[in-house]
Amino acid sequence: MRNVKISAVGSWVPPRILSNADLEKLVDTTSDWILERTGIEERHIADADVATSDMAIEAAKRALAERGTTAEDVDAIIVCTVTPDHMFPSTACIVQHKLGAKHAWGFDLIAACSSFVYGLTTAAHLVGAGTHQKVLVIGADTMSRIIDYTDRATCVLFGDGAGAFLIEPGADGEGGFIGFKNEVDGSGGDMLKMPAGGSRMPPTHETVDQRLHFVHQEGQAVFKFAVKKMGDISAQLLEMHGLKASDVKLMIPHQANRRIILACADRLGMPHENVLINIERYGNTTSGTIPIATREAMDTGRLEKGDLVLFAAVGAGFTVGANLWRWAI
């Protein structure tokens, strides 16, 4: 496999903010409860006329502009999302057309909060195989469209946003993709899901009345699984490559709950200052968290060429994933 690098990163979040104080007016909750239990202070919410593809395109444009390249040079587009514009056509097709990526094929990748890590793994192999030169991996979710704003257990957690990585061949010794470990444990499927709207439970008046087109979650079960698995898979991946937690300059984990992230860092024996947390300003943007956080790490000088970066996530399914990259830009 040839060397593969992340060559550019872009992100976009909608400007409108939903604060904890705003949520106090919607459901029986308090700002203190939300902050203490999740670490979230505010999240961004898309306007009614903004769909997932719109955010995906903005993030992709920023990544392409940073690299100084055009959409016509892109060979493939992977849109990681659980909130596609439609069941079909795929959001990747909409992004391909509106971006003007005339030579790209693409598809949507659904692995909930692990989608972006799975997308990175996939893109690394498309480019690594030598068959693709430029692959866009976009994580974009408009979670506010599938959240029940009468359910205090879920509505405080999520926000909207998107981020995009451009993946390209790297020169020998330049750094780039080191390895991955991804897993699925489908026995956890009922713990976090949107029950209706698919072929198992097509939309009917009854499913709408029962609010089954919204996210339903067994919060504590997901919490426990996430702490254990995000830590374990990261440790296993490091060990596979003869590396230690202390070798990692920055861990960029999925942002679902500040307590999950810190417990995972403790499990790995990683100092908290080596873990990027920005959940306070975005909440859980599902596929968007990792690329949004990565862009922030670059903007705040927390990533330098040569740094070892660990991406890790746990999501509905259950899906679990980790990627190791040597930062090359």
Return the residues of window 255-314 that contact ligand UT7 according to CB under 6 A. Answer: 256-257, 260, 284
Per annotation, catalytic residue among 113, 132, 257, 323: 113
The reply on whether position 149 binds ligand UT7 by CB under 6 A is: no
What are 319's two structure tokens?
A: 């899906």
The reply on whether position 320 binds ligand UT7 by CB under 6 A is: no
Closer CB to ligand UT7, residue 153 or residue 298?
153
Closer CB to ligand UT7, residue 34 or residue 77?
34
The site map against ligand UT7 for 192-211 (x = CB under 6 A) is x-------------------
Write out the chain in H/E/C secondary structure.
CCCEEEEEEEEECCCCEEEHHHHHHHCCCCHHHHHHHHCCCEEECCCCCCCHHHHHHHHHHHHHHHHCCCHHHCCEEEEECCCCCCCCCCHHHHHHHHHCCCCCEEEEECCHHHHHHHHHHHHHHHHHCCCCCCEEEEEEEEHHHCCCCCCHHHHCCECEEEEEEEEEECCCCCCCEEEEEEEECHHHHHHEECCCCCCCCCCCHHHHHCCCCCCEECHHHHHHHHHHHHHHHHHHHHHHCCCCHHHCCEEEECCCCHHHHHHHHHHHCCCHHHECCCHHHHCECHHHHHHHHHHHHHHCCCCCCCCEEEEEEEECCCEEEEEEEECCC
Closer CB to ligand UT7, residue 76 or residue 312?
312
Reply yes or no on whether 284 is catalytic.
yes
Closer CB to ligand UT7, residue 135 or residue 143?
143
167 phi-psi bin (left φ>0, alpha ψ -120 to 50, beta other): beta
What are 106's two structure tokens?
A: 């693409």
Closer CB to ligand UT7, residue 153 or residue 184?
153
Contact 276, 198 (CB under 8 A): no
- Give Dmax over CA atoms of the chain in angstroms: 59
The reply on whether position 156 binds ligand UT7 by CB under 6 A is: yes
The reply on whether position 83 binds ligand UT7 by CB under 6 A is: no
Interface pick for ligand UT7 out of 13, 79, 147, 222 (rule CB under 6 A): 222
Closest separation in Å from C-beta 61 to ligand UT7: 27
Closer CB to ligand UT7, residue 152 or residue 249?
152
Q: At 44, which amino acid appears? A: H
Return the residues of window 113-142 that contact ligand UT7 according to CB under 6 A. Answer: 113
The site map against ligand UT7 for 4-43 (x = CB under 6 A) is -------------------------x---xx--xx-----
Reply yes or no on whether 254 is catalytic.
yes
47 backbone dihedrals φ, ψ, rounded to 5°: -65, 160
Number of residues that bind ligand UT7 (CB under 6 A): 21
Per annotation, catalytic residue among 93, 132, 182, 254: 254
The reply on whether position 220 binds ligand UT7 by CB under 6 A is: yes
Stretch that binds ligand UT7, among 2-10, 71-79, 152-160, 294-302 (CB under 6 A): 152-160
Is the link from the previous residue into 318 a cis peptide, with omega within 30 of 0? yes
Closer CB to ligand UT7, residue 14 or residue 315?
315
Q: Which residue sits closest to ligand UT7, CB atoms considered? A: 219
Reply yes or no on whether 182 is catalytic.
no
Catalytic residue positions, numbered: 113, 254, 284
Binding site for ligand UT7 (CB under 6 A): 29, 33-34, 37-38, 113, 152-153, 156, 192, 219-220, 222-223, 226, 254, 256-257, 260, 284, 315
